[in-house]
């Protein structure tokens, strides 16, 4: 049987969280596989690994891991690895690209405007477009740099303060936030995210006790079915494979209406992470989930 090598760390704002994910994934895998944990000190594949003998499991978050760069390097070097391929990873990391594919497929997404810092739109025009807005980097992790602007003045202030990078301004949709794993193309359970203070930002995401979770989430069965179908379709149109996480907002104004916020191709695997919670709703233990995540990569290596 092939050796399983778990990558974590790297250089990104989410490096420390990646190390926690890597530790938990490694601890689960080593009970049933010949597994090794590699903490990347640089954003590059370490030397000494044989692509004919090992399968890579990237427990990476943020830049390099989620933007498709690592995946492209693994592909070029001939490695079999778990998770989405380089193009799909890049598409899902760049939120406007994923939203364009989903919109074209008829999936519901929030209205938005994206731009580079050196070519910003008029802040007053954006403020007129959206009464309330969510402003975040367009090509970073799902909660990095996220700001909720509740007034026109706050929208203008946030946009005026942007000095570099690629950004997206989304229309704020008031509602309940949810997440759903998709494992090998099949939707898992629905998790409701209930953050203290109402905003699921980076701090609340990774601080134990700062957010409450309900899983399986309490929604009408018909709504759940529609969200599962939408999650599987989003996974498909964005070219995902093996596993991913789809985030939703269920509108307060209409309990049956939702929008897809984004897809995450390398979901967190920490004690507070969403994919393990979603998977548990359909019978996966954490160890089962980790084993399932590497199953297809092992088959690809054999081929």
Question: So what's the pLDDT on residue 150?
Answer: 86
Question: So what's the pLDDT on residue 199?
Answer: 54
Number of domains in the chain: 3
Does 71 lie in the same domain as 9? Answer: yes
Most confident of 185-199, 201-215, 225-239, 250-264: 225-239
Does 161 lie in the same domain as 219? Answer: no
Question: So what's the pLDDT on residue 72?
Answer: 97
Q: What is the average pLDDT across 86-98?
A: 94
Radius of gyration of the chain (CA): 19
pLDDT digits (tens, 9 = 90+) for 100-147: 999 999 999 999 999 998 888 888 888 888 888 888 888 876 556 788
Q: Is 89 domain-assigned?
A: no
pLDDT digits (tens, 9 = 90+) for 220-278: 999 999 999 999 999 999 999 999 999 999 987 666 789 999 999 999 998 778 999 99
Exposure on the CB side of residue 1, measured as CA atoms within 13 A: 9
Q: What is the CATH number of the domain that holds 41?
A: 3.40.50.20
Does 153 lie in the same domain as 180? Answer: no
Does 192 lie in the same domain as 244? Answer: yes
Does 164 lie in the same domain as 201? Answer: no
Does 193 lie in the same domain as 127? Answer: no
Does 120 lie in the same domain as 63? Answer: no
At residue 2 the predicted structure's pLDDT band, cuts being 50, 70 and 90, is confident
Q: What is the CATH number of the domain that holds 148?
A: 3.30.1490.20
pTM of the model: 0.89
Does 53 lie in the same domain as 10? Answer: yes
Q: Is 50 domain-assigned?
A: yes
Q: Is 161 domain-assigned?
A: yes
Does 202 lie in the same domain as 181? Answer: yes
- CA–CA distance, 197 with 172 (Å, rounded to integer): 16
Contacts with 4 (C-beta within 8 Å, 6 or more apart), sequence order: 29, 33, 34, 35, 36, 54, 55, 57, 294
Which residue range forms the structural domain that includes residue 47? 3-83+290-302
- Mean pLDDT rounded to a whole number for the chain: 89
Q: What is the CATH number of the domain that holds 230?
A: 3.30.470.20
pLDDT digits (tens, 9 = 90+) for 15-46: 888 999 999 999 999 999 999 999 999 999 99
- CA–CA distance, 280 with 282 (Å, rounded to integer): 5
Q: How far is CA 152 from CA 166, 200, 251, in A?
A: 21, 21, 22
Domain end, chosen from 171, 197, 213, is at 171
Domain end, chosen from 125, 146, 171, is at 171
- CA–CA distance, 233 with 159 (Å, rounded to integer): 33
Does 270 lie in the same domain as 178? Answer: yes
Q: Is 77 domain-assigned?
A: yes
Q: Is 100 domain-assigned?
A: no
**What secondary structure, in 3-state letters, does the chain show?**
CCEEEEEEECCCCCHHHHHHHHHHHHHHHCCCCCEEEEEECCCCCCCCCCCCCEEEEECCCCCCCCCCHHHHHHHHHCCEECCCCHHHHHHHHCHHHHHHHHHHCCCCECCEEEEEHHHCCCHHHHHHHCCCEEEEECCCCCCCCCEEECCHHHHHHHHHCCCCCEEEEEECCCEEEEEEEEECCEEEEEEEEEECCCCCCHHHHHCCCCEEEECCCCCCHHHHHHHHHHHHHHHHHCCCCCEEEEEEEEECCCCCCEEEEEEECCCCCCCCCHHHHHHHCCCCCHHHHHHHHHHHHHHHHHC
Does 152 lie in the same domain as 180? Answer: no
Residue 207, number of CB atoms within 10 A of its CB? 12
Question: So what's the pLDDT on residue 253?
Answer: 62
Bond into 216 cis (ω within 30)? yes
Domain end, chosen from 153, 171, 189, is at 171
Q: Is 199 domain-assigned?
A: yes
Does 150 lie in the same domain as 181? Answer: no
Q: Is 107 domain-assigned?
A: no
Given a contact cutoff of 8 angstroms between Cβ atoms, the answer to whether 298 and 242 are in contact is no
Q: Is 105 domain-assigned?
A: no
């Amino acid at each position: 049987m092939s050796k399983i090598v778990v990558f974590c760390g790297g250089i990104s704002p989410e490096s420390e969280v990646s190390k926690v994910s890597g530790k938990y994934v490694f601890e689960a895998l080593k009970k049933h596989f010949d597994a090794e944990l590699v903490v990347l000190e640089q954003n590059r594949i370490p030397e000494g690994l044989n692509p004919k003998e090992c399968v890579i499991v990237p427990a990476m978050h943020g830049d390099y891991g989620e933007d498709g760069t690592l995946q492209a390097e693994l592909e070029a070097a001939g490695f079999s690895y778990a998770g989405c391929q380089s193009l799909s990873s890049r598409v899902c990391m760049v939120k406007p690209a994923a939203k364009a594919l989903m919109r074209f497929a008829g999936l519901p997404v929030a209205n938005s405007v994206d731009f580079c810092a050196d070519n910003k739109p008029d802040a007053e025009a954006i403020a007129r477009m959206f009464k309330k807005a969510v402003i975040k980097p367009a090509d970073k992790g799902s909660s990095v740099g996220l700001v909720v602007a509740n007034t026109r003045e706050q929208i203008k202030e946030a946009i005026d303060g942007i000095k570099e990078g690629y950004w997206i301004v989304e229309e704020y949709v008031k509602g309940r936030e949810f997440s759903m794993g998709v494992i090998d193309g099949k939707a898992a359970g629905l998790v409701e995210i209930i953050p203290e203070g109402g905003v699921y930002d980076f701090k609340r995401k990774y601080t134990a006790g700062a957010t409450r979770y309900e899983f399986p989430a309490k929604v009408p069965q018909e709504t759940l079915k529609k969200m599962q179908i939408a999650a599987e379709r989003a996974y498909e149109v964005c070219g995902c494979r093996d596993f991913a996480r789809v985030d939703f907002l269920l509108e307060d104004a209409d309990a049956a209406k939702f929008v897809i916020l984004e897809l995450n191709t390398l979901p967190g695997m920490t004690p507070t992470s969403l994919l393990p919670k979603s998977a548990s709703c359909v019978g996966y233990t954490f160890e089962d989930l980790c084993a399932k995540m590497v199953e297809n990569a092992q088959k690809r290596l054999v081929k």
